[in-house]
Amino acid sequence: MTTEDQVAQEEELLALTSIYYEDEFRRTNGPPGGEFKMCLELPSDFLISIKSDSATNSSADNFKNTVSFLPPIVLSFEFPPGYPSSTPPGFTLSCKWLSPIQLTRLCQHLDDLWEENRGSVVLFPWIQFLKEETLDYLNITSPYEIEVPSNGLQSWTQSPEKTFGAGEWPSLDKRAIQDVQSASALVRCILDFNEAQQKKTFDSKPFLCNICFMEKLGSDCTHFKDCQHVYCNTCLTDYFKVQIKDGQVHALNCPEPKCTSIATPAQVKDLVGEQLFSRYDRLLLQSSLDLMADVVYCPRLSCQTPVMKETDGAMGICSACHYAFCVHCNMTFHGLAPCKTPAEEDVELEEENESAEEEQRRTLENASNKMKNREWIKENSKPCPGCNSPIEKVGGCNKMSCTKCKKYFCWICSEILSYKDPYEHFRDSAACADA
């Protein structure tokens, strides 16, 4: 190796190190060389699908997805003693979603670029071509079908005729490496890489929070995927903590007015911490059980365990305290005998009150108050048509909002109203509007 070649090699490696990020380019510790990972810039809404001729990859055959990023093309190179004065770099080109034939075409073009620049350093022209011209050079457009034959020596992205045209096509280049195990493995790799790159891009961008009106990096923000709204973590944490402490676990949605996008459990946990998330998870389960028609709660105040109704629909047996009770009147199960009327219960309560000890008296008073509360609720409220929760109307118009299931409904006819335009019902129904 001449001194000039040695200096040129070192200067080229130093230049590449200063231009590109560490996750794009790295030098090798042994002989002079390195590895470059090129993530191509895809057009927006780039649709890919996977087709396989292997019977074991039937699930991957149905894969269709829009992606923003695909796994990189990897250029591994090593400088020979005569580079750049007389000898080109030795290299391999590998990729998970390009076929060996497509990679062969790229290898041949890198050889052509060396011939055009013989005697000069060539890595930068190689990298620029691979990053900026690969899609056009291989005529890759959306929608793009990746074909994965069971025979790895054949094209698994496009047929040779589509790649090179009719007639003969070149043999595969040994420097072109197909880096994929199976169609299902390729699907996992594409989805994981696309998600990781999207997060990386999001974390590095600034966003304006519409709560505090401060601009913060995406790494300090939360992104609602359904609606694409972004808010800073500090504001969302405060908002979610208040909602959870108030028991409004179904209201952990995007703060944007009229937006119905819901925060995922993982987002909630990251924002509010383990302890408050446990409360959120418990309340969410309880509210879900409340909406299930075949689930009731043990009537014992010291228990309150969720209980599945028996097949006859009249009896519940608590799995915690083993109390068998009537699901209609919450008293001890009485078989085919009818439930006692409130008047009968009042008489029994009065008789028991006369002889009961003070502790028993308090228990009976609580039960009596509970019964009176049920009667008051029955007379002064209406059941929500969505979840059957009692709703009281204290004023305002006839458009009601259930605090439990969040549905809108008409107080007059109990019809469930549209989220987008709940007042359309009152414009169409004069009876409900005038009541």
- In order along its 435 residues, the chain shows pLDDT tens digits of 568 889 999 999 999 999 998 889 999 888 899 999 999 989 988 999 887 766 554 556 678 899 999 999 999 999 999 999 999 999 999 999 998 899 999 999 999 999 999 999 999 999 999 999 999 999 999 999 887 765 544 443 344 444 444 444 458 899 998 877 788 888 899 999 999 999 999 999 999 999 999 999 999 999 998 888 999 999 999 988 888 887 777 768 888 888 888 888 888 888 888 888 888 787 777 766 666 667 788 888 788 888 877 766 678 888 888 888 888 888 888 877 888 765 655 566 566 556 555 666 676 677 777 777 778 888 888 888 878 888 888 777 888 888 777 788 888 888 888 877 788 888 887 778 766
pLDDT number for residue 185: 85
Q: Residue 89: how many CB atoms within 10 A of its CB? A: 23
d(CA 217, CA 203): 6
According to CATH, the topology of domain 206-290 is Herpes Virus-1 (3.30.40)
Give domain 3-197's CATH superfamily: Ubiquitin Conjugating Enzyme (3.10.110.10)
pLDDT number for residue 355: 59
Per annotation, catalytic residue among 212, 321, 397, 413: 397
How far from 39 is each of 44, 72, 96, 130, CA to CA, in Å? Answer: 15, 4, 12, 9
pLDDT number for residue 393: 81
Q: Any alpha helices (H) in 117-182, and if so which ranges?
A: 123-137, 160-164
For strands 46-52 and 64-67, give the pairing: antiparallel
Known catalytic residue at 397: yes
How far from 400 is each of 22, 338, 394, 421, CA to CA, in Å? Answer: 58, 35, 10, 13
pLDDT number for residue 168: 47
Estimate the crossing angle of helix 3-19 against helix 123-137, to 10 degrees: 50
Tokens matching residue 361: 């008296």
d(CA 402, CA 11): 70
d(CA 200, CA 203): 5
pLDDT number for residue 155: 40
pLDDT number for residue 1: 59
pLDDT number for residue 344: 58
DSSP 3-state of 101: helix
